[in-house]
Every structure is written in structure tokens, then in C-alpha cells.
Amino acid sequence: MLTTLCAGLSSATLVDMRQRRIPNVVCGAMAAAGLALSASGIGNVTLAASVAGLVIGIAMMLPGHVLGATGAGDVKLFAAAGTLLGGGRMVPAFLFMALAGGVLALFVAWRRGRIGRTMRLTAGLVGGPVALKATVESQTEHNRFAYGPAIAAGCLTAALIQ
């Protein structure tokens, strides 16, 4: 399970960092592998837990996608990882992913010389997320970055601490 998780997450992360997208084939293969491993009894995740991980992964990431904060590939990657982690590891994976994503966002903002503006926009999202959606998604804001590394860090941390 851990080997499959590492392979899928590292593949997705490398492509995301280079092309700013996560291919469906990577997410699909990872999800299929997770479901197949659990259905065959290999590993420590039951088929029910694998399906729960998939559903919980989608449910946890979809609101961020709807608000424009994450891409559809991020949703699919987290859900695919859920098939290998199982439903019981998805909340810790999400929390570790959010922490890693926050650190990554601060690093990217610092590297781009935008730390002050990023902090102000982030504070504004708390007060009025709908009004700032256009700003978050704006190409001129230069605030987008690959989130695959944060997903990988969160999921691997959750897998290793069980």
C-alpha cells in the first residue's frame, strides 16, 4: 500500500510541479490500484474503507475546488489517495495537507515578493469568500501554485503515523 501511495503521489507531484496539472491517468490508476488491493485483501485497508476514503476525499476537497482554491486534479488526487489510506486516515491526511499547503503558500508568496498582499487576501477570504473568488482565480494576481506537493506530504504523513 505504501509503495503504491508513494508511486502515485510522487508521479502526480512531479507532473503538477512541471505542468501545473495532475493527469487523470495518474489519479485513475492510483484509485484503481487502491480498490484492487483492498478487494484482493492485500494490505490493511478493507474494500469498504477504500471506498469510504475515495468518497471522503472528494467531499473534503470539493468545497475548495468550488471556491476556486484548488484544481479538479487536486480533488481527484486526494480521493485516489483515499483508496489507499482508507476512510479512517482521511481527516488526519487533510489536516496534514492543509498545514503543508499553508507552509508552501507562504514560501511561494515570499519567493514571489507577495507575502503582504497574500496575507491581506487570505484574511479577506475569511470575511467574504464569494467576493474574493475572482481575485483568487485572477491570472494577474500570480497567486496560483502546484498543490500536489502538499497533498503528497499530507497523505504520506497520515500513512506513516498510523
Q: What is the pLDDT of residues 84-140, one digit of tens each?
A: 999 999 999 999 999 999 899 888 888 888 777 767 776 666 666 555 656 655 555
The grid coordinates of residue 15 equal: 507532473
Q: What is the average pLDDT across 52-78? A: 92
Contact 153, 105 (CB under 8 A): no
Terminal C-alpha separation, the chain: 13
How confident is residue 75, by pLDDT bands cut at 50, 70 and 90? Answer: very high
How confident is residue 58, by pLDDT bands cut at 50, 70 and 90? Answer: very high
Report the alpha-carbon distance of residue 59 to residue 82 in Å, rounded: 11
Report the alpha-carbon distance of residue 99 to residue 153 in Å, rounded: 9
The grid coordinates of residue 135 equal: 481575485
Q: What is the average pLDDT across 48-60? A: 98
| Mean pLDDT over each residue of the chain, to the nearest integer | 88
Report the alpha-carbon distance of residue 3 to residue 9 in Å, rounded: 10
Q: How many CA atoms lie within 13 A of 149 on its CB side?
A: 14
pTM: 0.84
Residue 19 has a pLDDT of 93
Residue 139 has a pLDDT of 58
Identify the three-state secondary structure at position 20: coil
